[in-house]
Structure 1
Amino acid sequence: MTPPTAGEPTHSKASASRAFTTFAGKVAKWAGHPLAFALGSATVVGWAVSGPFFGYSETWQLVINTGTTIVTFLMVFLIQNSQNRDGAAIQAKLDELIRASAAQNRYIGIENLTEEELDELRRRCETRAQAERLDNAREAADEAEARARDRAKAAAERVG
């Protein structure tokens, strides 16, 4: 068995990554559930109701501040992990659709362009779309004119 090369994940790294991915996905999904919101709201209400019992002390305030800070800090990383994976999966799907369709393959990988390059590409696409809409409108007008001419000719032949 050959040792892994640089950049190649080891089995333990892959399984740790898979475990974290599973954990992060489940936590992110649960955090978006109405029950999670209800639990968070109930915690805040419970904390607020306990204020008079603790005399609204600094320790009482510190409890909610520390708790919310820790939860927020950890959730940012878990949710970002889920968003990164979702974004990468969507990008891979779009790239495959572009590759397998009549679309232009040059759009594969554009997510790596700079903001300025993406803005320029977006402007070019909008310009092409406007030109295509104008061409379609001209074709529709030409077709309508041809149909009107044909009807006028048919009406003239019936009369004359």
Structure 2
Amino acid sequence: MPLDVSHKVSPFDHFATRASQLAARAPFFLFCIVLVLVWAPSVLFLPLDTWQLIINTTTTIITFLLVALLQNTQSRNDAATQHKLNAVASGLADLMEHVAKDSGSHDLDERRKELRRAVGLERDESA
């Protein structure tokens, strides 16, 4: 349920969120372009192997770190979305149960049970 969701965010999660927000903005893209523009002319005074090694190493490190940070952010977003969907499904199942009791509709009660099984609510309640 929504009240079960923790609002505490670890320092790493906070950092990952900020890094994700920064990486999704135009200034970060411009920084990347500037980095390439500064690197490109260095071919004139660096050996070709060193020149290539610099850009390959830099891009590999940046990509590795961003993937880790963005994966953290995406996983937390997925979990939050799942909690919201569970709350909506649970509320709908409760409403269907209430209406089924009032109307005596066996079909609606079966549909409610089917909904709870389909979204795994019975496992959430027992956990």
Name the TM-score, length of structure 1 as normaliser.
0.53
Q: How many percent of aligned residue pairs carry the same amino acid?
A: 38
Partner of 2:107: none
Q: 1:18 aligns with which of 10, 15, 27?
A: 10
Partner of 1:105: 116
Provide the secondary structure at the position in 1 that maps to 2:44.
coil
Q: 1:49 aligns with which of 35, 41, 45?
A: 41
Query: Does 2:81 match 1:90?
Result: yes
User: Using the alignment, how far apart are the partners of 2:40 and 2:64 within structure 1?
Assistant: 22
Runs of 5+ consecutive residues of structure 2 not aligned to the other structure? 1-7, 97-111, 122-127
User: Using the alignment, how far apart are the partners of 1:109 and 1:73 within structure 2?
Assistant: 35
User: Using the alignment, how far apart are the partners of 2:120 and 2:28 within structure 1?
Assistant: 37
Partner of 1:128: none
Partner of 2:60: 69
Deviation beyond 4 Å, 4+ runs, structure 1: none
Runs of 5+ consecutive residues of structure 1 not aligned to the other structure? 1-14, 111-160
Deviations 1:10-31 (A, max 9, x none): xxxxx8x700000111101111
User: Using the alignment, how far apart are the partners of 1:28 and 1:107 within structure 2?
Assistant: 33
Higher helix share: 2
Name the TM-score, length of structure 2 as normaliser.
0.66
Shift of 1:79: 0.6
Partner of 1:151: none
Shift of 1:57: 2.2
Max Rg structure: 1
Partner of 1:38: 30
Deviations 1:76-114 (A, max 9, x none): 11110101000010011011001101472223249xxxx
User: Using the alignment, how far apart are the partners of 2:76 and 2:60 within structure 1?
Assistant: 25
Partner of 2:5: none
The CA RMSD over aligned residues, in Å, is: 2.0
Q: Which structure's relative contact order is higher, taking Cα pairs within 8 Å and 6+ residues apart?
A: 2
